[in-house]
Amino acid sequence: MFDKILIANRGEIAVRVIRACKELGIRTVAVYSKADAGSLHVQLADEAICIGEPPSKESYLKIDRIISAAEVADVEAIHPGYGFLSENAHFAEVCENCNIKFIGPTSAAIRAMGDKVLARETVRKAGVPVVPGSDGPVDTEENALKIARKIGYPVIVKAAGGGGGRGMRVAHNDPSLVKGYHTARTEAERAFGNAAVYIEKFIENPRHIEFQILADRKGHVVHLGERDCSLQRRHQKLVEESPSPALTGDLRKKMGKAAIRAAESVEYVNAGTVEFLLDEQGNFYFIEMNTRVQVEHPVTEEVTGIDIVKEQLRIAAGEELGFGQRDIQFQGAAIECRINAEDPFNDFRPSPGCIEFMHVPGGHGVRVDTHMYGGYTIPPHYDSMIGKLICYGRDRRVALERMTRALDEFILRGVKTTIPLHQLILKDPNFRRGRYSTNFVERLLTASQPSVPTNSTEKN
């Protein structure tokens, strides 16, 4: 096992990785921007190195500064967390060349899955169903129209280098496709420096079901079951749960096998997630693979008892998986609510600032992963997610009751958060019955706009 690693990230995931390292007896080095000097990850790590100015481009995305910090601190490996450089194949390559272990897959696997057009093609050849769509990137408006007419409207234009729900446009007819094609390209160019787009059939009312994968260097690949991440806003996840209320044992087996095949098609190593859309008829289609640890990984940890970050460290250190597919037991139900510093009833406007007072829920089956503390100031430069509330129960009903109770206990004064929205979701009869799809949140927001409970907005 490693003796010392560097965490090239911030926020709750940096704290999460430090915790796993401490339990494994690994010393940790935090890196931070000038805006994060007072951050929890800086305080919890054994060493901390400032790598630049607040904007990510000047710090958390600066490969040369991070590598210099790793060399100065003399670490054996780097954990990239999620976001920032975690899916940057060049960064993984630089680490490989500098003899620093990148805690994640090879740069080749990141590259193969990072281009979503190439990823579709690779997994399709391996026998994994993909959403019907274009064979490759669509480079002219005429071709876009030809493909859309062939597969039939509605369609969705997506960025080949996409992520975070950006660079996507739904089109219901020729004129909206022409408009969507150009806006998606412009957005993709701006966000990812790559204007390439492709077209998929737009699946109506789908569920987003993803499978957690672990793979070691000896070629053993297992899945840790699914997470239902259908509760989204603008294609960004808000709530995740496992098991999915929509899956039968049979479907779980089929999708799990397909997820493993997808990982094997790129000789995947370490933790990753294979994402699918499930349509109303029970057909599933691969949409992408995320080649890193995900925000929602705790949900899987709660139902399997497997510490995914520790497994990432073990795999990167060259250890074999200590269990096979049959050894993985699923027990109970877990749900996660993402706590963002945003005003959900004012178009999710970011709400950075000082947390004047904070009370974190506790008790049996309640887990809070966060870098916040009372008096902490949320800087305006980064993602607005400030914590995750995860509740576990022996079944879904208990997990939901616990989540309702824990959300009521969570007090954050000084900033607006998504907590009141989660309270609304948890009350919804359809959600409670497990009946929801990716458009659930938008519908709920539209329906509930005039009757927003103002007291809970203030309280939280």
**Residues labelled as active-site residues:** 292
Residue type, 371: H
Specify the pairing of strand 47-52 against strand 27-33: parallel
| 202 touching ligand ADP, by CB under 6 A | yes
Residue 46 C-beta: closest distance to ligand ADP, Å: 34
Which of 4, 27, 34, 235: binder of ligand ADP (CB under 6 A)?
235
Q: Does 200 bind ligand ADP (CB under 6 A)?
A: yes
163 contributes a contact to ligand ADP by CB under 6 A: yes
CA distance 150 to 144: 10
**For ligand ADP, the closer CB: 164 or 362:** 164
Q: With binding defined as CB under 6 A, does residue 206 bind ligand ADP?
A: yes
Nearer to ligand ADP, 30 or 159 (CB): 159
Selected range binding ligand ADP among 81-89, 100-108, 157-165, 182-190, rule: CB under 6 A: 157-165
Binder among 10, 16, 120, 208 for ligand ADP (CB under 6 A): 208
**Residue 322 burial (C-beta neighbours within 10 Å; 0-12, 13-18, 19+):** exposed
- The 3-state DSSP class for residue 147 equals helix
β-pair type (411-413, 357-359)? antiparallel
Question: Rounded CA gap, 374 and 409, in Å?
Answer: 15
**Start-end of H helices in 98-244:** 107-114, 116-125, 141-151, 174-192
Cα dist. 446→221, 300, 341, 344, 443 in Å? Answer: 43, 31, 21, 12, 5
**Residue window 86-125: x/- pattern of binding to ligand ADP, with contact defined by CB under 6 A:** ----------------------------------------
The region of 30-38, 200-208, 305-313, 446-454 touching ligand ADP under the rule CB under 6 A is 200-208
Residues 426-445 that bind ligand ADP (CB under 6 A): 438
Residue 150: left (phi > 0), alpha (psi -120 to 50), or beta? alpha
Q: How many residues are given for the chain?
A: 460
Q: How far apart are the first and last CA of the chain?
A: 42
In the region spanning residues 38 to 97, those forming contacts with ligand ADP, defined by CB under 6 A, are: none
Residue 435: what are its φ and ψ, rounded to 5°?
A: -100, 100
CB-based contact 357:331 (threshold 8 Å): no
Distance CA 457, CA 460 (A): 5
Asked if 110 contacts 88 with a C-beta cutoff of 8 angstroms, the reply is: yes
CB of 402 to ligand ADP, least distance (A): 26
Binder to ligand ADP among 152, 164, 305, 322 (CB under 6 A)?
Answer: 164
- Which is nearer to ligand ADP, 165 or 305 (by Cβ)? 165
Whole-number minimum distance, CB 92 to ligand ADP, in Å?
Answer: 18
**272: contact with ligand ADP by CB under 6 A:** no
Residue 165 engages ligand ADP in binding (rule: CB under 6 A): yes
Asked whether position 246 contacts ligand ADP by CB under 6 A, the answer is no
Q: Which is nearer to ligand ADP, 83 or 162 (CB)?
A: 162
The minimum distance between CB 202 and ligand ADP, in angstroms, equals 4
- Interface residue list for ligand ADP (CB under 6 A): 131, 156, 162-165, 200, 202-203, 206, 208, 232, 235, 275, 277, 287-288, 438
